[in-house]
Amino acid sequence: MANFLIIGLGNKGEEYDNTRHNIGKEVLLHFAKAHEDSDWKEDKKLKAKVAKIKIDKNSATLIIPEMFMNQSGLAIRSLSKAGGGVFKPEQVILIHDDMDLPLGSFKISFNRGSGGHRGVESVSKVIKSTEFTRVRIGVSPVTAKGLVKKPKGEDAVVTFILGKFKPVEVESLHKVSKWVGEALEMIISDAKQGREKAMGMYNTGVKK
Q: Catalytic positions, please?
A: 21
Amino acid identity at 27: V
Report the distance separating Cα 38 and Cα 61, nearest Å.
10
Query: Alpha carbon 160 to chain centroid distance?
Result: 19
The residues with which 121 forms a beta bridge, in sequence order, are: none
Query: Alpha carbon 78 to chain centroid distance?
Result: 19
Burial of 18-31, coded b for 16+ CB within 10 Å and e otherwise, reads: ebbbbbbbbbbbbb
Query: Alpha carbon 185 to chain centroid distance?
Result: 14
Give the CA angle between residues 181, 195, 51 to the nearest 5°.
45
